[in-house]
Structures are given as C-alpha cells and as structure tokens.
Chain A
Amino acid sequence: MEEFTINTKQQDNIDILYLNGFLDAHTSVELEQYFEKLLADNKYKIVVNFDKLSYISSAGLGVFMAFIETARNNSGDIKLCAMSEKIYNIFDMLGFPILFEIYKEEKSAIEKFS
C-alpha cells in the first residue's frame, strides 16, 4: 500500500506539518486526527508543507475545509505551501485559492503569521 506520513516541527509558535506520500480517502483520516489534536491543544497557527506529497484526492482537500474555519475563528490560519504543479492544479481548478493562502515557499507562509 502506498504510504502517507506526517512529520512536524514547531517554529515561533507555529506548527508546520510536512505531508509525505499519498493523501486519499484512506490516509486522510490520519491527517484529520492530527488536525483535531492540534485544535484541541489550542494550536491554531498551522503551515502545511506539500513538498513531499505525491498525490491528493478530494478526501484530502476536505480535511483542510473541515478545520480552517475553527483556526481562523481563533486568530489562526491554515496556510499551505510548497505544492508541486500537479497538486496545485487540483487546488486551483476547484477554486481553493479563494479561501486558502497558498505560498510557493514555506518561509513566506511562516512570515505571514508575524
């Protein structure tokens, strides 16, 4: 089975999630649980780095939709960065840049929180 993993880092009170592998209806449960835990711990400033993500389906997109309102209502945000062209095209085709801030570089996403 194709794998999906999440690595994390904290920097300046921001949680950075590094997604790796294949995010589909099966593996998105793991990401959903990770977001639930972050919000339960009152961590609302989140950057998601897509550099090592090879694949995303709409189940993966749904995870970001599920948590962005709570993050923003608590003075935080879920900012996305470092997407491959293939992954960005899916977000873009569905109009996600209307709601989500998407940056080419992680550094820019982090700076926007300051």
Chain B
Amino acid sequence: MVKRMSNPNKISFASSTKNLSLLRNFIEAKAIEFGFDESPISQIILSVDEACTNIIKHAHKYNDEEMIEVEIQTDKSQFKIIMKYKGNGFDPNNLNSPDMKDYFENFKIGGLGVPIMKKFMNKIEYVHKNSDYNYLTLIKSLQA
C-alpha cells in the first residue's frame, strides 16, 4: 500500500522492501527539484534506502502492516528527509562504524547501512517522541 499525501513532499508506504524502488523514485524527484547534482542525488537516494531498509528489517521485522512516512523539508541550503515510524527505533549516531580491516578478514555480513549514511549525509538526527513514534532525519547540505 502506498499513500500519496495532500502534501506533495510527503509519502507514506507499507513497510516492505518491495516499496524501496518507489521510495527511491520519490527521493530522486525531490532532490532534483531542490537543485542537487547527480553525485549528491545518488548519495541521498542510497542513504534513505539504507535507513528505510533498517526500519523495515529491525523496527518492523518485515511486518508490512506497519507503515513508514517520509517527508522532505527544505530551506535555502539544506535538504532534510524525515522518516516517521513506529516500533523499536535506534539512533544511528550511537552506532560505531565497523573496523573494515576486521570486517573483511572475518568475512562479516551486514551493518554497512549506517556507515554509508554517515559518510554521505551531513547530519543524522534521531528523536523518539509521543512514546510511540520514532523520527529519523537525514540532512544533506547543498554545498557539501
């Protein structure tokens, strides 16, 4: 299920990996509209994909009855993607990036979504409020 909201900068979709392509198309359109070049657009799309994949996998345990709401907010210099979701949230800022030498020596799998987000976005904010909802915000600056 996908809901286009009355606000054109907002989209709401069932928490399923099936909807990642739709999410990427939405983010791409908004990032182009904002005026980013190709490289930052690719970085934003991948970061939001990684964030929502983590929500689908960890917060919702692949339960597609859960929903994810994504809203774009912009000002002159910043592009913000706010993901609102229920369930067990977590703050990516609290997760240390893996030691990649150790990662490859021991053939580890997973855990690369957060390092990608941290590398490609200028700021990550996480808030848990109303005792129910988590808000994860990824911020990209225009001149970064």
Contacts and interface: CB of A to CB of B under 8 A. Distances in A.
Given A2-B21, A95-B104, A99-B104, A62 B110 contact: yes
B116 A24 contact: no
Given A57-B46, A94-B100, A24 B17 contact: yes
Given A57-B50, A94-B100, A68 B42 contact: no
A62 B21 contact: no
Main secondary structure of the interface of B (DSSP, over half): helix
Contacts, number: 69
Nearest to B110: A62
B107 A65 contact: yes
A68 B24 contact: no
Interface residues of B, number: 29
B112 A61 contact: yes
A1 B13 CA distance: 14
Nearest to B57: A25
Interface in A80-111: 86, 90, 93-96, 98-99
Contacts of B103: 95
Interface of A: 1-2, 22, 24-26, 55, 57-59, 61-62, 65-66, 68-69, 86, 90, 93-96, 98-99
Given A26-B17, A68-B107, 19 more contacts: A1-B21, A2-B21, A2-B24, A22-B21, A24-B53, A25-B53, A25-B57, A57-B46, A57-B113, A58-B110, A58-B113, A58-B116, A62-B112, A93-B116, A94-B115, A95-B100, A96-B104, A98-B100, A98-B101
